[in-house]
Chains A and B, each alone.
Chain A
Amino acid sequence: MEKTNISATVFRYQPGQDTKHRWQTFKLAVDPEYTILDVLNEIHWHHDGTLAYRRSCRSSICGSCAMKVNGRNVLACETPIHQFGSKLKIEPLPGFEIIKDLVVDLEDFFEKLKRIKPYLIVDQPLPDHEFRQSPAELEQIGESTLCILCAACTSSCPSLWANADYLGPAALLKAYRFVFDSRDDGTDDRLDIINDRNGIWRCHTIFNCMEACPKKIKITEYLSRLKVKVVEKSI
C-alpha cells in the first residue's frame, strides 16, 4: 500500500535524565490507515524504544491510551491519523503529574473514584433470583455504565485544573451510576459525599468532559441531574 509521510511531534520527559519536558519530532512514512497508537508503536518498536505510553486492548474499551492529540483528548487506539492531516502533536493527558513521556499518574484519579463508594449498596434481603429492573429503570443508568475510566473527561475539566481536589467528572459520573440505579440503597450517603466543597458544585457545566468522552456519554447532563438530587434532598 502507498505510504503517507507524517511528522509526529511527541512530548518527552525521561525521569532522571530530563530536568523538564522537551518535544521530539519523528518523520515517518506510514500506512494512511494508521491510528495514533499505530504511530506510537512504530516509533517505540522501530525508532526509539525509550518512548513510554500506556496501551492494551486496541479496541476502545480498556481506557489505557487516553492522551492529547492536536489539542483534543482522545483514545489513541481508535483515532485514525487522517483526522489530523500530516502533522501530529501528541502529549499526555493534561491535569495530571507526568511519570514519563505520555504516562501520567492516575493514583489520585482512582482514589477519588473510591471516595464516592463506587459499588452497589443493598440494605434489603437478596432475592433468590435477580432483582427486577424494568428496561426504563435500566435506561436511567445504561449510558453511564459505558464509562471506561480512561480519565479523558476529568483531564479536560477546567474546574479540576483550577482545584486539584475537585472529585472531577469521572468520579461524579460513577456516583450518578449508583444513585440512579433502582437497586441501590446508598443514595443518601453518596449525595452527602458529593455535596461538599470539592464535590458536585464545582461542576460549572463547561461541557469539556462531554466533548472529551470517547464513549460520547452525556456527562454534564448526568451531573446536572445529580445536582437536582442533592437539592431535593436538602429541602
Chain B
Amino acid sequence: MKPEEAKNFHRLDAVIIGAGLAGLRAALEIGRNGHEVAVISKVYPTRSHSGAAQGGIAAALANTSDDSIEKHLFDTIKGSDYLADQDIAKFFVEESIKTIYEYEHMGVPFSRTADGLINQRPFGGHSAPRACFAQDITGHVLLHTLYEQCVKHNVLFFSEFQVLSLPIENDICRGAVAWDIRHGGLHIFHAKAVLLATGGYGRAWKVTSNAHANTGDGVAMVLEAGLPLEDMEFVQFHPTGLYKHGILLSEAARGEGAYILNDKGERFMKTYAAEKMELAPRDVVSRAEQTEINEGRGIGGKDYVFLDLRHLGQQKILERLPQIYELALNYLKVDAVKEAVPIQPTAHYSMGGIPANIKTEVIKDAKGTVIRGLYTAGEASCLSLHGGNRLGTNSLQDASTFGRVAGKEISNYISQTLLAPLPKDPLAVASGKISRLQSGDVKERHAVLRDRLQENMTKYLGVFRTEADMVKMRGIILELQDRYKQVRIDDRGTVFNLDLIEALELENLLNFSLVIVEGAIARQESRGAHFRIDFPKRDDGKWLKHTLAWLKDGKVILDHTKSVVIFPEYQPQERKY
C-alpha cells in the first residue's frame, strides 16, 4: 500500500511540532497567512512547558526607567560569556519590542504601571528593569493567549501525538511520522515544511525544573536523522529550584528584592558578585550556591540554602509573587511570608540544541548548509542567541520572536515550493521501535534505566564538572544504551499507552546525553554554565567557537570549526558582576 492510501495520512502545507510559545507563534503566523498548518503536540497546547515560565519576558520598552536595545544587546552578549552569535543577538533585541506590543494587542494581561503602561521589573544580568510580566505567571498567560489566537485563526491541532521520525532525503525534510497517543496508531504528516519547536532537554537530570514532557524529542530526532546538534554541553542550572523537587521558583523573587542566605544567615553573593549580588546571572549564582553547599555552609550543613522573601512583606509577596508563595506552601509547607524557603540549583534551560541560521532554517554543518523544509525555534534550537548562559526573561522572548520569524520564513517557503515526495516506507523506523518494545518478556524496565541516568547526570554533570566525573558518566550512558536493547514494556495495548511513550523518550534521553557528555569532556575551558574544575578559566584562544556533534553508529563525532559571530564593538572581555 502506498503511504497516501493509509487511513492516517495527512497532507498539509506546514507541520509544527511542539505547542509551546515558539510553535504556537509560528502556527499563528502561518495560519494568518492562509496556509494549511497543523500543530502536533504530545500534550494539549495549554499544557506546554512555556506555561511554567514565571518571571517575565525581556524587551527594552523603557516603561519604568531608561533603557535601550543596545544595553539589552550588550547584556545578552555578556550574559552568554561571549559565545552568543552577535548578529543573532542584535536581530533579537531589535525585534523584541514589537513582540511585546503584538502580545499586548492579542490580549495578554500584563501587569501595569500606575499610568497603565506595561510594568517592568529587574532580572539577573539585565542592566535595567526590562522584564515585562504578569504577576509571576508570565509564561502561562502568554501561552494561553497564543492558544486563543490560534483558535481564532483555525489552526489545526493534533494534541497527544508523539512525533517519532522525520522523513528526510537529499537534504529535504518531507514531513513527520507520529504516534496517536489517545487512539494508538501511526500517522504520516506529508508537508512542505516542518518546524521543530519541541523544547529543551532538562529531563535528563534528576533535579530539574522541567516537565515530564521535556525529553528533548526534537533534538534526538535530529541526531537520529544524521544531523548535528550544537553546544549541547551548555545547560543552565537555575539557582532557585525548590529543594528536593527542583521546581522553579522564579528569579522574579530576586527581581523584587529577595535575598539568598547561607547557614550563617549571610547574603553570600557579596563574595561572588559584589555589585549585582542576587541579581547576577544564573550561572554565577548557581556556582556560588553550590560552593557554599560544598564548603559546608548549606543550611544545617545540608545541600540547600535559603531564598528569603520575608522583608518584602505580605502584600508585595501576594501581589507580585503569588505562585511562588503557593508552591512553597504546597510542596514544602513553608509560609514564605514568615519563613525562608529551602532552594538548590536545578537543571533548567538548554542553551544547546538544533543548529539553525537567522531565518530559523536547520543547518547540517559548520558552513551553514541548509536542510530544506526543516526549521527550528525556541529552546529546541541553537541559533546561538544565548551562547554559554541565557539571561532570565530572554527565553520567552526568544521563543516568541523566533517563532514569528519561523512562521514568516515557512510561509514564504511553502508559497514558492512544491511538495517533495515521501521516501519509501516512511513508517519503517517508527513501527520498528514500537513493535520491538511490545514483543517478548520485560527484561529491563525503562524507569529503572531512566532513574540511573537522571541520578548520575545530576551527580556527575551538574554545576561543577571534572574530566574524571564525566568519563564515569559516559561509561554509565554506554552501559544504559546497551541495557536499553532489553527494555520491553508492560502495556501491550495501543490506547493511551504511557509505558510506550516513556520507553521511546528514554532512547532520546540516552542518545542526546551521550552528546552532552562528549561535548563537555572535549571543551577544556569554563564558560557560562559549563564550569570545569580542571580548566577553571575561559579560553578564548582555543574555545571561542561552537561545538557541532553528530551521532554515528553509536559514537559521537565532534567538530569545532563553527566560529562565533563577534562584532568589533563587542569583543570578549572579562565577565564580572
Question: Interface of A with B (CB < 8 Å)?
Answer: 14-17, 33, 35, 44-46, 48-64, 78-80, 99-101, 103, 106, 110, 113-114, 117-120, 122, 126, 128-135, 137-138, 141-142, 145-149, 178, 181, 183-184
The answer to whether B490 touches A50 (Cβ under 8 A) is yes
The answer to whether B48 touches A62 (Cβ under 8 A) is yes
The answer to whether A58 touches B490 (Cβ under 8 A) is no
- On whether A49 and B211 interact (CB within 8 A), knowing A56-B47, A78-B330, the answer reads no
Contact of A57 among B47, B101, B148, B151 (CB under 8 A): B47
B182 CB–A CB distance under 8 Å: yes
With a cutoff of 8 Å between Cβ atoms, the chain A residues found around residue B90 in the complex are none
The answer to whether B112 touches A62 (Cβ under 8 A) is no
- On whether A61 and B493 interact (CB within 8 A), knowing A49-B445, A122-B105, A130-B110, the answer reads no
| Interface residues contributed by chain B, number (CB under 8 Å) | 62
- On whether A106 and B247 interact (CB within 8 A), knowing A46-B445, A56-B212, A99-B496, the answer reads no
- In Å, the complex CA distance between A80 and B110 comes to 32
With a cutoff of 8 Å between Cβ atoms, the chain B residues found around residue A53 in the complex are 498
The answer to whether A99 touches B182 (Cβ under 8 A) is yes
- In Å, the complex CA distance between A231 and B144 comes to 29
B115 CB–A CB distance under 8 Å: yes
- In Å, the complex CA distance between A20 and B497 comes to 19
In the complex, how many angstroms separate the beta carbon of A101 from the nearest chain B beta carbon? 8
With a cutoff of 8 Å between Cβ atoms, the chain A residues found around residue B114 in the complex are 134-135
Known: A99-B182, A130-B104. 11 other contacts (CB 8 A): A48-B490, A57-B211, A59-B209, A62-B52, A78-B331, A99-B496, A100-B496, A117-B152, A119-B149, A132-B115, A135-B114
With a cutoff of 8 Å between Cβ atoms, the chain B residues found around residue A54 in the complex are 43
Quick one: closest A residue to B104, CB to CB?
A130
The answer to whether A58 touches B495 (Cβ under 8 A) is no
* Interface flags, B369-409, vs A, CB<8A=1, else 0: 00000000000000000000000000000000000000000
* Interface flags, B13-51, vs A, CB<8A=1, else 0: 000000000000000000000000000000110111101
With a cutoff of 8 Å between Cβ atoms, the chain B residues found around residue A126 in the complex are 105
Closest 6 CB pairs of A and B: A120-B107, A49-B490, A45-B447, A132-B116, A49-B499, A119-B148
* Interface flags, B324-341, vs A, CB<8A=1, else 0: 001100110000000000
In the complex, how many angstroms separate the beta carbon of B140 from the nearest chain A beta carbon? 6
The answer to whether A51 touches B498 (Cβ under 8 A) is yes
B266 CB–A CB distance under 8 Å: no
- On whether A58 and B109 interact (CB within 8 A), knowing A132-B117, A148-B46, A148-B140, the answer reads no
B323 CB–A CB distance under 8 Å: yes
- In Å, the complex CA distance between A156 and B140 comes to 23
In the complex, how many angstroms separate the beta carbon of B307 from the nearest chain A beta carbon? 16
B248 CB–A CB distance under 8 Å: yes
With a cutoff of 8 Å between Cβ atoms, the chain A residues found around residue B496 in the complex are 52, 99-101, 103
B245 CB–A CB distance under 8 Å: yes
With a cutoff of 8 Å between Cβ atoms, the chain B residues found around residue A60 in the complex are 326-327, 330
- In Å, the complex CA distance between A148 and B145 comes to 12
B213 CB–A CB distance under 8 Å: yes
- In Å, the complex CA distance between A58 and B445 comes to 22
The answer to whether A56 touches B211 (Cβ under 8 A) is yes
- In Å, the complex CA distance between A60 and B247 comes to 10
With a cutoff of 8 Å between Cβ atoms, the chain B residues found around residue A137 in the complex are 116
With a cutoff of 8 Å between Cβ atoms, the chain A residues found around residue B493 in the complex are 14-17, 50, 100
In the complex, how many angstroms separate the beta carbon of A95 from the nearest chain B beta carbon? 18
B489 CB–A CB distance under 8 Å: yes
Contact of B144 among A58, A133, A145, A184 (CB under 8 A): A145
- In Å, the complex CA distance between A152 and B508 comes to 33
- In Å, the complex CA distance between A48 and B447 comes to 11
User: 17 A-B Cβ contacts within 8 A?
Assistant: A49-B445, A49-B490, A56-B211, A56-B212, A57-B51, A60-B330, A62-B47, A64-B43, A100-B493, A117-B152, A118-B148, A119-B148, A130-B118, A133-B116, A138-B109, A145-B137, A145-B141
The answer to whether A119 touches B46 (Cβ under 8 A) is no
Quick one: closest B residue to A82, CB to CB?
B333
Contact of A100 among B52, B105, B495 (CB under 8 A): B495
- In Å, the complex CA distance between A7 and B236 comes to 39
- In Å, the complex CA distance between A183 and B391 comes to 32
With a cutoff of 8 Å between Cβ atoms, the chain B residues found around residue A147 in the complex are 144
- On whether A61 and B140 interact (CB within 8 A), knowing A50-B491, A55-B212, the answer reads yes
B204 CB–A CB distance under 8 Å: no
Interface centre among B135, B137, B326, B498 (most CB of A within 10 A): B498
B106 CB–A CB distance under 8 Å: yes
The answer to whether A120 touches B46 (Cβ under 8 A) is no
With a cutoff of 8 Å between Cβ atoms, the chain A residues found around residue B140 in the complex are 61, 146, 148
B176 CB–A CB distance under 8 Å: no
The answer to whether A49 touches B491 (Cβ under 8 A) is yes
B111 CB–A CB distance under 8 Å: yes
Quick one: closest B residue to A17, CB to CB?
B493
B473 CB–A CB distance under 8 Å: no
